[in-house]
Amino acid sequence: MSIIQKAMQQKTAQDNKQKEPQNPERDGSPDLVHTDPVPHPGDQPIVADGFPSVWLPPATIEIDLDRLMQMGMVSHTDEQANATITNEFRAIKQKLFHNAFSSGAQYHQRSNLVMVTSAGYQEGKTFTSVNLALSMASEKDKTVLLVDTDVLKPGVSDMLGIDYRVGLIDYLQGKVNHLSEIIYPTSIPNLRIIPAGQPHHLSNELLASNKMERVMNELAHRYPDRMVIFDCPPVLGVVETITLSKLLGQAVFVVEQDKTRLDDVDVAVSQLNKDMAIGFVMNKAVRSVFGQYRHGHDYGSTEDQS
């Protein structure tokens, strides 16, 4: 072979090597494999603020149903256990469903977003929030998302026996890229939870932000079969609940029998969004008492704690 032919072969080999795709991660170690994790079937990735679509689905939260049953909560597993309160919350949720999915929906914006609040603390709002969510999760054609927005004194996780997890305030601060990362599936198939997250001194400003409004729009419209229950702080003395009411379509106002002052209820309700459907639940009732539901409906009474 002539010198000219050898030179041409070397030149061809060099050209072919330059055309091979370069892998900057190949440094003698095994190839790195990048795959998108399979999202939970109930919550596809929600991309926000320019972050990429790759996300890690949260681990399923195990909820101790026996513990809840012993606490007097709505039962999914035993029709005879806590039958009274289970049936009462069945009646309450039907009013909410009517406003969210039936003819009542035409009168309210974001009517599948429901706040649960009270005039003051210790009147039963978290107890009501959790039981409503448990009752709604038993539906065959609906799902429920329970959001702890009592960011000053979170109570949902304690009531459900859940350890601390990253939540709403962390997402609003930008510490979490995707909203889907804080929507936790639970061992109850139709129930998902967003915890409150780490408390922050600017919680009201975060809840009043444009980012929070985008969250509400996303939650209201992404899934047509989903109810979203917000466990909110009491109204009196707390700005956050008034702020949140502007973004929600319905409110359940919890009143403790023989404790809550009617004047406080009037003052508290007057500060909420006037376009909401607002109903009342009598908690810790020792007799059958039915509170009035604005727009001509009734909720009912419940008989327990917190």
Question: What percent of the chain shows pLDDT beyond 90?
Answer: 60
Amino acid at 198: Q
Burial class (CB in 10 A: 0-12, 13-18, 19+), 180: buried
Which range, 1-10, 72-81, 96-105, has the best average confidence (pLDDT)? Answer: 96-105
**Token output for 4:** 């000219």
pLDDT at 281 over 90: yes
pLDDT at 27 over 60: no
pLDDT at position 109 is 84
pLDDT digits (tens, 9 = 90+) for 167-223: 999 999 999 989 999 999 999 999 999 999 999 999 999 999 999 999 999 999 988
Q: Is the pTM of this model over 0.95?
A: no
CA 306 to chain centre: 20
What's the rounded mean pLDDT across residues 142-161?
A: 94
Q: Is there a contact between 239 and 214 (Cβ–Cβ < 8 Å)? A: no
- Enumerate domains of the chain plus CATH numbers: 34-298 (3.40.50.300)
* Helix axis angle, 125-137 to 83-101, nearest 10°: 80
Q: Is there a contact between 176 and 128 (Cβ–Cβ < 8 Å)? A: no
* Three-state DSSP string of the chain: CCHHHHHHHHHHHHHHHHHCCCCCCCCCCCCCCCCCCCCCCCCCCCCCCCCCCCCCCCCCECCCHHHHHHCCCCCCCCCCCCHHHHHHHHHHHHHHHHHHHCHHHHHCCCCCEEEEEECCCCCCHHHHHHHHHHHHHCCCCCEEEEEECCCCCCCHHHHHCCCCCCCHHHHHCCCCCCHHHHCEEECCCCEEEECCCCCCCCHHHHHCCHHHHHHHHHHHHCCCCEEEEEECCCCCCCHHHHHHHCCCCEEEEEEECCCCCHHHHHHHHHCCCCCCEEEEEEECCCCCCCCEECCCEECCECCCCC
pLDDT at position 238 is 87
pLDDT at 294 over 70: no
pLDDT at position 77 is 78
What's the rounded mean pLDDT across residues 134-153?
A: 94
What's the rounded mean pLDDT across residues 223-243?
A: 93
The model's confidence at residue 98, banded by pLDDT at 50, 70 and 90, is very high
pLDDT at position 285 is 65
pLDDT digits (tens, 9 = 90+) for 38-83: 334 445 555 444 444 455 678 899 999 999 999 999 987 777 788 8
The model's confidence at residue 284, banded by pLDDT at 50, 70 and 90, is confident
pLDDT at 244 over 60: yes
pLDDT at position 1 is 55
Residue scoring higher pLDDT (121 or 253): 253
CA 76 to chain centre: 20
